[in-house]
Structure formats: C-alpha cells, structure tokens
Amino acid sequence: MERTLSIVKPDGVRKNIVGEVIGRFEKSGLKVVALKMASLTRKEAEGFYAVHCKRPFFGSLTEFMSSGPVVLMAIEGAGAIKKVRDIMGATDPKNAAPGTIRKDFADSIESNVVHGSDAPETAAFEIGYFFNALEIRC
C-alpha cells in the first residue's frame, strides 16, 4: 500500500472538473483517504513547491497555485504514486497521452489541472504539508 498527494489545481476547480478528476482516480481502484478544499496563500504555495524555487517559472507557478481554491487529497492504493501520475499524464499537455487528465483538460504546461507526488519521500512531505494524522482515514 502506498499513499500520494494529489491536488486539483485552481484551473481544474474553475473548469468544474473536481469530480471528474476524483472519479478517474477512484475508477482505477485508488481510494481517497483525506480530502479538503483550500485557498493557498502565496507563501503556502511557495513552501509546497520549494524544490522548484530556483526555476524560472517559480514566480508564475506560485501565483497560479494561489489564484483560487484547490482541492487537496491523499490517495491510497498499490503503486498509488505511479498510478496517479499515469492517470494525470505528462506535465505538458502537448506531450500527454490520450485519455489522461492533462490531455483531456489542461491548457498549458503551467495550467495543467492536477498535481501528483513524484516519489515516496515527496509524497510523505506533501501529505504532511496539508493534512495531520487526524484528517486521514485508515
């Protein structure tokens, strides 16, 4: 069993596809074990994406991530990290495979609808960034 953090980003919430994203995860056999809506401050977005702080797109990315409400969720299942990223598709929707969330809904490499942790260590950091133990079902 593995856990990962996923986010429906502000563009996904604006497009009204929160249920669509969660439904795709659930249909693949993954389970939502924690869920909430939040509006990230610029500082919270910067802390979350701190690994990218030296990248040229950091300012724009953190502005985008704090531009409206997001839906935060912890997802559980066998191979959850890779499964979620496979369902999401490539970062740039131009390179995303058919049938992935980003191919179907994303507008650009930045406004790409959804986030998923990329490794067990980042998943642990990211779940802990947004949820405490009381908020996660067993």
Chain contacts with ligand ATP (rule: CB under 6 A): 52, 57, 61, 91, 109-110, 112, 115-116, 118
* 118 vs 135, beta carbon nearer Mg ion: 118
- In one-letter notation, the amino acid at residue 99 is G
**Which residues have CB under 8 Å from 101's CB, separation 6+?**
20, 21, 24, 87, 88, 89, 113, 114
Q: Which two tokens stand for residue 135?
A: 């908020």
User: Is residue 20 exposed (0-12), middle (13-18) or buried (19+ Cβ within 10 Å)?
Assistant: middle
* 34 vs 106, beta carbon nearer ligand ATP: 106
Chosen from ligand ATP, Mg ion, none, partner binding at 61 (C-beta under 5 to 8 Å by type) = ligand ATP
Active site residues: 115
> Please, what is the minimum distance in Å from the beta carbon of residue 51 to ligand ATP?
8
Chosen from ligand ATP, Mg ion, none, partner binding at 32 (C-beta under 5 to 8 Å by type) = none
Measured distance CA(65)–CA(39) in Å, rounded: 9
* 101 vs 134, beta carbon nearer ligand ATP: 101
Residues that bind Mg ion (CB under 5 A): 118
